[in-house]
Chains A and B, each alone.
Chain A
């Protein structure tokens, strides 16, 4: 439930602002000049704010698309990610957002039309090469879809951009919007998973694995292409068995033909974010784990990381062909 909505003066009359505010008739509306006055201020505690986050409606002025590292790709030549929203309604203890942002408030950039113009331009610029646009790096693509109407607004664009693909990355079961529309052939609805056991403690508010699988099956029956994202891989003693069970559960239920891509990557984040999170959650056992820092990134100790990638890659390739497999480390391709 959103109790407070901050609104940039510049977009106070934007139709999307009015539409979103209408969904929260009891919320206190507070005007602001620029969302950064609230979101970027020092002296904020992400952990405390997560208990009752506010919403900030803002306009993005530039940098609509960011180049994504090719090793995080799912095929294709060019990779861009974009964020119509900052922060996520879920509270995953391993998530880098809590170390990257000072505030847990949800920022929604309401000027979708400017994001779309940037995508059209980029798509045109690359001619007939395949361009992937990834949503869901800085937020969950679907979790707030009933409020943001993100899919209803963005997917029609991709019908006009045949060389471009849109990845919606999510842990949500908010698929009503997708089920109402015709499947878009160049869209992948990608669901992230970790095994249920660490998930119970590390993924607060995330729908249970079974419910996400049900959502995937509904989408698959409707003709949507599905993605599976085992990223981040989470270590705990017995991880091999836990992941084996997870893969078995998922791949035994989803038809191979519906699976567009499977990606794999171990837990990793910039050292600075990791330090910030440890300061926020000094009582969190997960962060006391076998991590080490290399080249400014914190991840599991190298041997362990390789073992996890190798074991999981082998297990996954028992279910899918290599052509659908996109590990974040080239060594496992």
Chain B
């Protein structure tokens, strides 16, 4: 799943249409749109709103550590042409000076740049960075929910020294996002690939669920069971039958004890690397 956070509805409109996202019937503090693979939330303007919206999605919809998070929006820059798409390689909160560095293990669909999150619109465009108002709040919050390789900010230049922010209309903002859908699509595809890879890594070994349902385990025992079942599955190359193996076990403790002996035995005979 990819969670997309956008500040205002007009920026989201082209994406809702392109990805076929449907409004959630859940009437919460934020408007949420979903498909099978994407979720889009309208956060409102500013880093606090962005942080709140990210927290809301995590708490209400998606606690998976392998979901990806993407902040899309418009931004200003001194000289970059209007409509240029930028992936953030550094995000600085102008308010407190803190910075985050989204790891660029994916191939950026366009240029990357430093993004500075400001509390009020930046009209002077000092320096060489891109200015906007949500990224720092979004990134700082989302990185509490999943690994930072899966969190990115993509901004489309909407204003510069030649065309100030005062000229931005809702339709214009929507058209800027619409023009960059190919880049956004490419980014989403790569994030999806990473999320899928991570999700396969964190997947629980298949017999675990059944064993947890069949016997009672304390929290510590569940930890041990998870560890032993993982080893058992790897060492047996998946050729296991949890139904037959443990028929004699009456308690969780007996399961752990038997499983430990099984794993100890096979670990000495079958640890050729994959």
Please give the distance in Å from A293's CB to the nearest CB on chain B. Answer: 12
Q: What 5 additional pairs, Cβ within 8 angstroms, besides A33-B99, A48-B147?
A: A47-B201, A48-B103, A282-B202, A286-B274, A288-B231
Contact of A43 (CB < 8 Å), options: B104, B144, B230, B273: B144
In the bound complex, what is the Cα–Cα distance between A304 and B264 (angstroms)?
Answer: 12
In the bound complex, what is the Cα–Cα distance between A61 and B103 (angstroms)?
Answer: 25
Chain B positions within 8 Å of A, measured between CB atoms, are 89-90, 99-101, 103-106, 112, 114, 143-144, 146-149, 194, 197-198, 200-202, 227, 230-231, 234-235, 263-264, 267-274
CB of B201 within 8 A of CB of A282, answer yes
CB of B234 within 8 A of CB of A288, answer yes
A-B contact count (CB 8 A): 106
CB of A38 within 8 A of CB of B268, answer no
Note all chain B residues with C-beta closer than 8 A to A37.
99, 101
CB of A237 within 8 A of CB of B273, answer no
At the interface, yes or no: A4 with Cβ under 8 Å from chain B? Answer: yes
Q: Which partner residue on chain A sits nearest B274 by CB separation?
A: A285
Interface residues of A in 34-68 (CB under 8 A from B): 37-38, 41-45, 47-49, 51-52, 54
CB of A288 within 8 A of CB of B271, answer yes
CB of A48 within 8 A of CB of B274, answer no
CB of B197 within 8 A of CB of A6, answer no
CB of A198 within 8 A of CB of B272, answer yes
Please give the distance in Å from A216's CB to the nearest CB on chain B. Answer: 25
CB of A236 within 8 A of CB of B272, answer yes
CB of B230 within 8 A of CB of A237, answer no
Interface residues of A in 1-54 (CB under 8 A from B): 3-4, 6, 28, 30-33, 37-38, 41-45, 47-49, 51-52, 54
Chain A positions within 8 Å of B, measured between CB atoms, are 3-4, 6, 28, 30-33, 37-38, 41-45, 47-49, 51-52, 54, 93, 103, 105, 197-198, 201-202, 235-237, 278, 280-286, 288-290, 304
Provide the main secondary structure of the chain B interface: mixed
Note all chain B residues with C-beta closer than 8 A to A93.
273
CB of A237 within 8 A of CB of B105, answer no
10 A-B residue pairings within 8 Å (CB atoms): A4-B89, A43-B147, A44-B147, A202-B273, A237-B269, A283-B201, A284-B273, A285-B235, A285-B272, A290-B264
Closest 3 CB pairs of A and B: A201-B273, A288-B231, A289-B271
Please give the distance in Å from A147's CB to the nearest CB on chain B. Answer: 19
Q: Which partner residue on chain A sits nearest B263 by CB separation?
A: A288
In the bound complex, what is the Cα–Cα distance between A263 and B17 (angstroms)?
Answer: 65
CB of A48 within 8 A of CB of B198, answer yes
CB of B268 within 8 A of CB of A304, answer yes
Note all chain B residues with C-beta closer than 8 A to A286.
271, 273-274
CB of B201 within 8 A of CB of A285, answer no
Contact of B104 (CB < 8 Å), options: A32, A54, A283, A289: A54
**Known interface pairs A48-B194, A285-B234. Does A30 touch B90 (Cβ–Cβ under 8 Å)?**
yes
In the bound complex, what is the Cα–Cα distance between A202 and B89 (angstroms)?
Answer: 32
Q: Which partner residue on chain B sits nearest A201 by CB separation?
A: B273
Note all chain A residues with C-beta closer than 8 A to B271.
235-237, 285-286, 288-290
CB of B272 within 8 A of CB of A237, answer yes
CB of B273 within 8 A of CB of A45, answer no
CB of B104 within 8 A of CB of A28, answer yes
Q: Which partner residue on chain A sits nearest B149 by CB separation?
A: A48
In the bound complex, what is the Cα–Cα distance between A7 and B235 (angstroms)?
Answer: 44
CB of A290 within 8 A of CB of B268, answer yes
CB of B99 within 8 A of CB of A237, answer no
